């Protein structure tokens, strides 16, 4: 009994098994596109960029800025224009002053009448701005910011 031919180790006898270049798509390296060649897999090879730690929670952990809103009559209104921040348009403005007939105007008129001035004289306070109330308004948005009452 001679050596029986091994059924598997016979080169060139069994095509498709052990023979390079035999069955296409199985044995030859590099013949499978998209699987074997390195770098041929887009979206997998390059490391993803480190995502920044995004803390997008507003109002949490941030120091709450307490905005002290100025009341309407906060600054002491005087006769002269005052510099302040307009609560309406939030601009730094110098108030424009206008004069309005106020209590003092009427009181002065009454006093003038009581002391015996003429009818025309008692209207003098209406012509004197210093006898009137000073109305401060924003020159930008025309909002009345305050009034300086003389009484």
Contact residues for Zn ion, defined by CB under 5 A = 86, 88-89, 138, 140-141
Query: Whose Cβ is closer to Zn ion: residue 129's or residue 144's?
Result: 144
Residue spans of alpha helices (H) in 1-151: 103-114, 124-127
Query: Whose Cβ is closer to Zn ion: residue 100's or residue 140's?
Result: 140
Query: Whose Cβ is closer to Zn ion: residue 86's or residue 108's?
Result: 86
Nearest Cα to 74, choosing from 149, 132, 145? Answer: 145
Burial 25-48, CB ≥16 within 10 A → b, else e: eeeeeeeeeeeeeeeeeeeeeeee
Residues 6+ apart with CB under 8 A from 133: 99, 100, 101, 102, 103, 104, 105, 147, 148, 149, 150
Cα 50 to Cα 48: distance, rounded to the nearest angstrom: 6
Minimum Å distance from CB 94 to Zn ion? 11
Nearest Cα to 100, choosing from 140, 69, 146? Answer: 146
Query: Whose Cβ is closer to Zn ion: residue 90's or residue 103's?
Result: 90
Minimum Å distance from CB 105 to Zn ion? 27
Query: Whose Cβ is closer to Zn ion: residue 117's or residue 141's?
Result: 141
């Amino acid at each position: 009994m001679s050596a029986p031919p091994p059924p598997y180790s016979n080169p060139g006898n069994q095509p498709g098994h052990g023979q390079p270049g035999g069955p296409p798509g199985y044995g030859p390296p590099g013949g499978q596109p998209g699987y074997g060649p390195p770098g041929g897999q887009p979206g997998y090879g390059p490391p993803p960029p480190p995502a920044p730690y995004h803390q997008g929670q507003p109002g949490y952990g941030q120091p709450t800025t307490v905005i002290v809103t100025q009341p309407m009559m906060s600054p002491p209104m005087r006769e002269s224009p005052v510099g302040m921040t307009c609560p309406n348009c939030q601009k730094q403005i110098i108030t424009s002053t206008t004069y309005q007939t106020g209590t003092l105007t009427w009181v002065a008129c009454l006093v003038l009448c009581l002391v015996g001035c003429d009818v025309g004289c008692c209207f003098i306070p209406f012509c004197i701005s210093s006898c009137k109330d000073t109305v401060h308004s924003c020159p930008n948005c025309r909002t009345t910011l305050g009034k300086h009452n003389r009484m």
